[in-house]
Copies of this chain bind each other. A is one copy, B any other.
């Protein structure tokens, strides 16, 4: 179907995408210029976050990109199955959590657990996800002017040739952005009814679980688990590593970790750390329990009607490996340098294909990095350091060094935090931090009002790390990351001279100011 000259509005796009998804024989969607046998600057194989941003940047620079995607929409798994539903579910979890804690207090009615359903939220997501798809198709065509073919699986022929929808396309470069998919643990029983991962959860869930066993200790495990528990689905996490102590997460401060994991337990979750899943067991083809070997060595059966896999993801590299001989590293990801170049000249890999965090900023910026290098810039993208976050029923954000990392690397480390850095203060009934986003908690349930910590080098006075549990600080951490990691860094003096917007969710500005007058810094 040639849509080049159609300027569909969002409603029309929505309908076209829905039809294409519903019908396995639906046509490819061509948004291509009219010239014959063009040679593109790059074909982006995959129109997810990286492909979309990379191609948009290339086009903006005057280049000619083409996106090919198997789905009838751009944006990839994020708005369809991954980060967007996660954010919707996490917002619901925050709200449900508040409604539970305040049940029958103030203006909150007695909490009605029967209303809180995973399935309802999944349905809400499914009913609305098309809007994001429609918008991205519309924007990429009408605002960003990027050519694309959707609803057509690309076949890589060689490093300059891709076929799709029965046609052949030539390019000077290939950019591989084929994403990742959940990886299953190697245990029996995963084919039983009632076993889900984050993809099948939104695609296939058709009953309301009452009990959940999560296998794995990833961010996904913590985020979805907190949501399940908030709906009233009694949730157990089975994790080989202590939560937030996995290799995939760096710079997790121990005080922050304890507040976060303690908060999950306080909400009724069972967290089995250093526990090994042995098998998922079923009755009549449906899951009924999970056998787990505990840290003690004891083996137990956990009864459940819902198993959720949160054991990470691995990239879709098979085709690129076969067709191009792309090198895959020991982590199971495609090997790429800081210009996103693979071992095959002219072939780039981006997003979840390569090492590093499977996060949006990396996906998008790696796409842009590939585009800019292809267009002749010499640009490296180093994502060794970045701000990070996850949700439980809280928003948890961090950037830079933990207190322990800082102490290992610097002689004089100063901690500025809320609750304050003192022994014997009558916490946990201290309503500090008392901050925007946790005001109701601070005045009613002080132990729930969050945690915040700033780690400062006492010698250079530079901020080394910042750590926050609460709400409303995540957006700020984008800028804190920038300020901390620029060459001149961010001193406590400069931070303390900023104009705070009281009652700021994190109090780093004003707390810094209380100490900045001191030539020799001390804790607060």
Tell me the A residues contacting B by CB distance below 8 Å: 9-11, 53, 56-61, 78, 83-84, 87-88, 91-92, 95-96, 98-99, 106-109, 112, 115-117, 120-121, 124-125, 127-128, 131-132, 135, 138-139, 142-144, 231, 359-361, 364-365, 368, 371-372, 383, 386-389, 395, 397, 420, 422, 424-426, 430-432, 434, 436-437, 439-440, 442-444, 446, 471-483, 497-506, 509-510, 513-519, 524
Are A434 and B84 in contact (CB-based, < 8 A)?
A: yes
Cross-chain contact of A505 among B106, B112, B128, B474 (Cβ < 8 A) = B474
CA distance A476 to B131 in the complex (A): 27
For this chain, the copies found in one complex come to 2
Chain B residues with Cβ under 8 A from A360's Cβ?
500, 502, 510
18 contacts between A and B (CB under 8 A): A10-B426, A56-B514, A57-B514, A60-B514, A88-B439, A88-B440, A91-B440, A95-B440, A99-B107, A106-B121, A135-B432, A360-B502, A365-B497, A387-B501, A472-B505, A478-B498, A481-B499, A483-B483
The closest CB in chain B to the CB of A385 belongs to B499
Known: A107-B115, A476-B476; 17 extra A-B contacts, CB below 8 A, are A10-B426, A57-B514, A57-B517, A60-B516, A60-B517, A87-B439, A91-B437, A106-B115, A109-B112, A109-B115, A135-B430, A368-B513, A386-B499, A471-B472, A474-B505, A475-B505, A479-B483
CA distance A471 to B519 in the complex (A): 38
Are A514 and B478 in contact (CB-based, < 8 A)?
A: no
With A59-B517, A106-B121: A443-B506 Cβ-Cβ less than 8 Å: no
Chain B residues with Cβ under 8 A from A84's Cβ?
434, 503
The closest CB in chain B to the CB of A495 belongs to B482
Cross-chain contact of A436 among B91, B109, B497 (Cβ < 8 A) = B91
